[in-house]
């Protein structure tokens, strides 16, 4: 049996939900040793993703990983984690900003112990910016980034946008992931290989969380009947009085309670039980009317930056001006063209953004760099080869 291209790479992943564990799965799939630092006591505030169904086998996002349960509220627990990190290549964590620091496992402490460690941080809003400490979910993040907007259709609310899951998520990002893995394999072995990245395979791969929820019974096969696909009133996009849209995804119980408090719904029997599915259609009707009572900006003033898990649904021009995106430099303007800045952010490396070249502008320079003399270059030009 052949070994994965990342064999020899050690990854320490702090247990969580969503894209962080999915990234850990991808490392493990490619042969890396992935050690999950689990909690000694389960987090009572975590959303129920169905992981308890029939033990751990359905939580395939942890496939191939090893697990250690640690009480990180003790000095001994923190020291245990630091020992794991001494020879690790990568750390993955998906906590809110400041949590790792409060645990005594922030970047400075970890990098002092292992200067070569790659400290990978996964959050929705980023480590900085005015929204960085607010709760949120996928639909909120892509709402404020501008990515949600063009999933809309005339006469309806914005839904999942085109190109993200197939072309870019399942295509470009999976291709990049495969090439990176193969490069590391080549650096160790001297062996190159073909990376066959199909968007069908890739979009299935990045659907891991959805498939896992489907296997666990959290996400039903019947479209629009589960919380994750628009069935729940507290996970939906709503139109506002001015024709704008806002998105909420108050999944966890404490976030749902804050939503009720801020909308003055704590005494409304329709919303008394978050998981009372027969009341969900009525709840949608009521929330539809509530959100139509104010403009999008008024809702932002009341809810943005709170733990309601909220975001306005912005178009790209609006997204580029949003204070959170401005603070993080999410967008840039080069020669009058709005475009996204490189992501993610690095603590040392600073990506340099260039401008698109005119076709053929660098031909001579590149041919010289390849070792061709002027006569050969002239001959290639004469023959129309370049």
**Residues with catalytic function:** 137, 167
Find the DSSP H helices in 322-362: 323-328
DSSP string, 20-85: HHHHHHHHHHTT-EEEEEEESS--TTS---STTTTTTTT-GGGTT-EEEEE-TTSHHHHHHHHHHH
Quote the crossing angle between the two packed helices 19-29 and 208-215, to the nearest 10°: 100
Closest-CA residue to 294 (of 318, 263, 249): 263
Give CA–CA dist 177/20, Å, rounded.
15
Angle at 54 between CA 51 and CA 59, to 5 degrees: 35
What is the torsion angle, in degrees rounded to the nearest 10, for the CA atoms of residue 3, residue 120, residue 255 and residue 289? -90
CB crowding 107-122: b at 16 or more within 10 Å, else e: eeebbeebeebebbbb
The burial class, CB within 10 Å (0-12 / 13-18 / 19+), for 84 is middle
Specify which residues 90 forms β-bridges with: 11, 118
């Amino acid at each position: 049996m052949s070994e994965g291209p990342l064999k020899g790479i050690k990854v320490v992943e702090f247990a969580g939900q969503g894209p962080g564990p999915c990234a850990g799965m991808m490392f493990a799939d490619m042969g890396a040793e992935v050690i999950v630092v689990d909690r000694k006591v389960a987090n009572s505030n975590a959303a129920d993703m169905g992981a308890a169904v029939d033990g751990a086998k359905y939580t395939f996002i942890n496939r191939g990983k090893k697990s250690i349960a640690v009480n990180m509220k003790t000095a001994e627990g923190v020291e245990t984690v630091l020992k794991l990190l001494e020879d690790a290549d990568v750390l993955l964590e998906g906590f809110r900003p400041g949590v790792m620091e409060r645990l005594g496992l922030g970047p400075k402490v970890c990098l002092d112990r292992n200067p070569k460690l790659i400290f990978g941080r996964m959050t929705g809003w980023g480590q900085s910016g005015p929204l960085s400490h607010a709760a949120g979910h996928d639909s909120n993040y892509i709402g404020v980034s501008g990515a949600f907007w063009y999933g809309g259709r005339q006469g309806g609310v914005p839904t999942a946008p085109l190109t993200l899951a197939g072309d870019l998520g399942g295509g470009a990002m999976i291709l990049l992931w495969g090439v990176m893995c193969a490069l590391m394999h080549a650096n160790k072995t001297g062996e190159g290989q073909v990376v066959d990245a199909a968007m069908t395979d890739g979009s299935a791969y990045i659907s891991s969380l959805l498939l896992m929820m489907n296997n666990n019974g959290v996400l039903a096969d019947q479209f629009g009947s589960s919380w994750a696909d628009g069935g729940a009133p507290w996970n939906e996009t709503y139109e506002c009085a001015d024709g704008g849209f806002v998105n909420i995804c108050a999944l966890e119980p404490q976030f749902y309670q804050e939503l009720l408090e801020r909308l003055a719904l704590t005494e409304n029997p329709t919303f008394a039980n978050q998981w009372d599915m027969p009341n969900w259609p009525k709840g949608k009707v009521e929330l539809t009317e509530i959100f139509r009572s104010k403009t999008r900006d008024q809702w932002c003033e009341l809810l943005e930056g709170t733990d309601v898990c909220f975001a306005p649904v912005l178009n790209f021009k609006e997204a580029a001006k949003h204070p959170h995106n401005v603070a993080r430099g999410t967008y840039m303007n080069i020669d009058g063209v709005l475009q996204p800045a490189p992501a993610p952010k690095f603590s040392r490396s600073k990506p340099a953004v260039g401008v698109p070249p005119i076709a053929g502008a660098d031909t001579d320079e590149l041919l010289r760099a390849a070792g061709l003399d002027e006569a050969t270059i002239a001959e290639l030009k004469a023959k129309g080869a370049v």
